[in-house]
Amino acid sequence: MSPKSTVHLPKEWLDPLRVRGQNALPCRIFPGPMEGLMSPLFARTFESLKLVDFWLTPFLRISTAVPRTARLRERFARFADGGLPVIQQLMGRNPELLARAAAQFASLGTIGININFACPSQTVVRNGSGGTLLKSPSLMEKILAAVRKETAPLPLSVKLRAGFKSPTEMPDTIAASINGGADFIILHFRTVMDNYDRIPDGPERIAKAVELAGPIPLIASGDLFSVADAKHLYSVSRCAGITPARGLAQDPMLIRRMQAAAAGQKTPQEDIRGNFLNTMRELASKNSALHTNRAVFLEIARHLWGADSAEFKMISKDFALKTNSK
C-alpha cells in the first residue's frame, strides 16, 4: 500500500508553533503567499467562508527607502482588516532598510516577520532580491540579524527555495538562516532555476532540509494540491508543517480538508468553488473598496476550474454577454 494511503497527518499540526514564549504560527497548516492573486477581495472571501485561520502576506519589496507609515499601514490593512492574525513578508537586500520596515510592521501589529529569499521571478532576480540572495548566504545572515535586532522578541522566519541552482546549496543557506536568527524556515522544494518546472525528488529535498535544520522547525511548500499530496510529503520528510499556495486557488477548501485529516476526521468532500466565486462577486458588489474588474474574476475562475473546463467557458461567456449588453 502506498504512503499516500497509510500515513496520517500529525495532530500536532493543528496546534500553534510556539517560539520565544509566543505563538509564531496559530497552526501549522496555513496558506502560502500567492503573488498576483491575494488581493483584499481574495482575502475577504476566504475569511467570509471561514476557510483560513491567519495570513502570511505576499512580499513587500523594500529597495531604496522604507515607504511612509501610511503606505505600510495600507499594505498591512489588506490582510489585517479581516481580523485574522497576519505575518508580514518582506523582500530586499538592504539589511538596515529591511530592519526598519520590519520594526514599523511590528508596531502595526504583525505577529511575525518573514523574509523572502525565494522568489524566482526574473524581474526580482535581475534586481538582486528574492531567490538571488541564496547565492549570498553571508548577506542573508546579515539581513536576518538586522531584522532580529530591531524586532525581538517578535517571531522571525524565512522563505527559501532549495537553492539557486542546486539543492546542494541548502547546507549554506539553512545555516545562514539559523545563524541569522530565524525561528523557523519555510522551504519550497524547487530551486530558483527550476522555476515551476516539475521535479522528481521534491519530498526528498524537503527531507534533507529537515535534517539540515535540526531543531529549527521546517515548514514545507511545493505541489500541495490535495490531502494525499500532504500525506506523501510528510511521509517522506517528517516536516513540521505545510503551507499550500496555488493548490488553495484551485480548491479553496484545501486547508480545511488537510486540517480534518490531521484531526483524524472524515475529510470534507463538498465542492465549494461555485460558492467561493459567488461570494467574491457579492462582497465586491457590496463594498466599493473591494470592487474589481471582470478580468480578476475570470482569472480566479481559471484557477478554480481550469481554462479548458466547461465551467470556465460558461463563466467567460456569461461575462462577455454582460459586457456586450452595456
CATH code of the domain containing 225:
3.20.20.70
Same domain, 61 and 210: yes
Q: In tens digits, what is the pLDDT along the chain, a chain of 326 residues?
A: 344 445 789 999 999 999 988 899 999 999 999 988 899 999 999 999 999 999 999 999 999 999 999 999 999 999 999 999 999 999 999 999 999 999 999 999 999 999 999 999 999 999 999 999 999 999 999 999 999 999 999 999 999 999 999 999 999 999 999 999 999 999 999 999 999 999 999 999 999 999 999 999 999 999 999 999 999 999 999 999 999 999 999 999 999 999 999 999 998 999 999 999 999 999 999 988 887 778 888 999 999 999 999 999 998 887 654 544 44
- For position 292, what pLDDT does the model report? 75
Same domain, 296 and 184: no
Domain that holds residue 15: 3-262
Same domain, 176 and 286: no
CA distance 20 to 186: 18
Same domain, 167 and 58: yes
Q: Give a yes or no: residue 14 inside a domain.
A: yes
Q: Give a yes or no: residue 267 inside a domain.
A: no
Q: Give a yes or no: residue 216 inside a domain.
A: yes
Same domain, 165 and 299: no
Report the domain count for the chain.
Answer: 2
Same domain, 220 and 284: no
Q: Give a yes or no: residue 268 inside a domain.
A: no
Residue at a domain's end among 215, 240, 262: 262
- Label residue 55 exposed, middle or buried (CB < 10 Å: 0-12, 13-18, 19+): buried
Strands 86-91 and 55-56: parallel
Same domain, 249 and 285: no
Phi, psi angles (nearest 5°) of residue 12? -65, -15
- For position 8, what pLDDT does the model report? 87
Same domain, 15 and 138: yes
DSSP code of residue 10: -
- Cβ–Cβ < 8 Å for 297, 303: no
- For position 323, what pLDDT does the model report? 45
With H, G, I as helix, E, B as strand and everything else as coil, classify residue 93.
Answer: coil
Same domain, 199 and 242: yes
Element (H, E) at 224: none
- For position 317, what pLDDT does the model report? 83
CA distance 13 to 26: 10
Residue at a domain's end among 220, 235, 262: 262
Same domain, 179 and 308: no
Same domain, 137 and 37: yes
Q: Give a yes or no: residue 188 inside a domain.
A: yes
- pLDDT tens, position by position, 23-60: 999 999 999 999 888 999 999 999 999 999 999 999 99
- pLDDT tens, position by position, 206-224: 999 999 999 999 999 999 9
Same domain, 307 and 228: no
